[in-house]
Amino acid sequence: MQERALLQSFWHSRVKEAEPAADISTDRIFTSIFEDYYSRIFNYTAYRVSCRYTAEDLTSQVFEKTWSRLHSYSPDKAPFEVWLFAIARNVVSDHYRSRKRNLFFPLEAVRELVSGKKTPDEQLLEGERNNRLGMALDALSAKERNIVALKFGADLKNTEIASLTGMSESNVGVILYRSMKKLKAEIGSVEQL
């Protein structure tokens, strides 16, 4: 959180006031943005698409668009995170529009995200858990999946999700509550996962 506040402060002091060396400052700002937000943007896109490689491509597109539009960002209109995740949401939506498919929460992507250097038994159990989680996530509507991805993939607060989606904060909370209830009904308890 402190890093985000520093980024906002850095943004105000360097870009908004248009220092003479704005190009160099923009490079530094973009580097900070990339380092701070890459994993959250990747997690968000991985929750929404069917494979890790697609998520990596979409994440790259998000940062390309961020770079090209960085000069147009205005902190007066929306917090930086909301602006950045709006770009991510639009990139994912464009991806699905271009493919004319409606797949969300890929099992392979979720499995790849959580796998590391584990024993074959651990990988097998984790794969089964991820498959169950993926099937449970398929029970959610597209709107619910997007909200869950923004909350748990992108690690956004309810206020930020509300600002990004145009819904009220209480509506976001209700959708999250109902989504978690549906997931619990599909999976059972976390211990059963």
Res 34: pLDDT: 92
Contact 45, 92 (CB under 8 A): yes
Q: 179: closest CA among 135, 141, 129, 128?
A: 141
Binned average pLDDT, 10 residues per bin, the chain of 193 residues: 49 51 71 91 83 88 92 86 91 84 54 60 71 76 87 88 91 93 80 60
Res 169: pLDDT: 93
Give the integer Cα–Cα distance in Å for 131 and 135. 6
Res 7: pLDDT: 52
Tokens encoding 94: 């464009």
Tokens encoding 43: 């997690």
Res 183: pLDDT: 85
Give the integer Cα–Cα distance in Å for 92 and 97. 9
Res 25: pLDDT: 77
Give the integer Cα–Cα distance in Å for 48 and 124. 23
Give the integer Cα–Cα distance in Å for 128 and 75. 44
Contact 46, 113 (CB under 8 A): yes
Q: Is the pTM higher than 0.85?
A: no
